[in-house]
Amino acid sequence: MHLFDTPSQQPSADGTAPDAELDRVAKYLLSLDPEGRRFADALRSTFDMLLDGQHTGRYRWDQLYKTEKTHFGTLVEINLQRKFDFSGGEELDYRICGIDVDCKYSQKHGSWMIPPEAVGKLCLVLWASDTESRWSAGLVRASEELLGGGRNRDGKRTLSRQGRQAVKWLFADAPLPVNALLHLPKGEVEAIFAPGSGTKRVDELFRRAQGILIRRVVVATVAQQEDYMKRIRGNGGSRSSLRPEGIIILGQYKGHAAIAEQLGLPVPGRGESVSARVVRAGTHTGEERPKALISGDWWVLATDADPAEPAPRLPKV
């Protein structure tokens, strides 16, 4: 949720004085990313980089080593700098609108560690959960009166309760691009990873995760091969092997997007796919369903009561 449309006019419920620099930075960041897509992409990319599913098969936070989890904040800082092309700060991480800003990420919401050099300075504070598919980003001036009394051995402190309340949220509890494997039942995920062949694992992915947007990195994690996207295609990939079962796999193409929209499926964006079992309209059982024209015939989403029939061939674009 976007909370900071007019920063300079936002009332200060915590009693802190207006902060012109904070407002200026907030306004600038929102002008660059009004919907939070750059922030979300940077956080999503950081999870994907650390998990490195293509080479490790990992897809959950708890599969990371402790040192990798510790490194997450540094990678967030780097990926945000790449996304926004921030200049390096004189004393802190970034220079935004001529103002030094420190970047702080915490796995636990509100537990950002503020170093001595950032005291009194602006901090861009972030949190994200891959499990919850949510993230937040805000700005706070880490003044002495907003910091707790305890310090770690590096002299870092956390925000006090008042400090946490003083954060001016740019985006709070916003949606993170979903890691589909985290939202499937455990038994389904185990079945997807069970085959020894990457091709067979991708088949299982699209057989068991129907109606869910599958990002490219999820395919890479399941296939664990360099040419993983070939495992989806129609010339020997999952589109071919699942066709006899009536399963179609729609991609980012314009024709595929139209079919997905007509059938009421999530519409794939760049690097995304969605699968579904279909039957010819008129041959299915039950009430009327949304239909799509594919290869000159009308098709609807199948239910468990509908017998399987070969799926239609999809348009190439």
Specify whether the CB–CB gap between 191 and 22 falls below 8 A: no
Mean pLDDT value of segment 239-251: 95
Q: Of residues 4 and 250, which shows the higher confidence score?
A: 250
What's residue 6's pLDDT? 42
Mean pLDDT value of segment 64-70: 94
CATH topology of domain 180-301: Arc Repressor Mutant, subunit A (1.10.10)
Query: What is the assigned CATH class of domain 7-175?
Result: alpha beta
**Same topology between domain 7-175 and domain 180-301:** no
CA distances from 61 to 1, 172, 271, 305 (A): 24, 21, 22, 38
Average pLDDT along the chain? 92
In this structure, what token pair is assigned to residue 216? 């490219």
Ramachandran region, residue 171 (left: φ > 0; alpha: ψ -120 to 50; beta: rest): beta
Query: Is the confidence at residue 4, as pLDDT, over 60?
Result: no
CA distances from 199 to 195, 203, 271, 316 (A): 9, 6, 18, 21
- Rounded Cα–Cα distance for residues 295 and 305 (Å): 24
- Rounded Cα–Cα distance for residues 178 and 29 (Å): 24
What's residue 85's pLDDT? 97
Query: Is the confidence at residue 80, as pLDDT, over 80?
Result: yes
What's residue 16's pLDDT? 60
Query: Is the confidence at residue 155, as pLDDT, over 60?
Result: yes
- Domain layout of the chain by residue ranges: 7-175, 180-301
Does residue 163 sit in helix, strand or coil? helix
In this structure, what token pair is assigned to residue 224? 């664990």
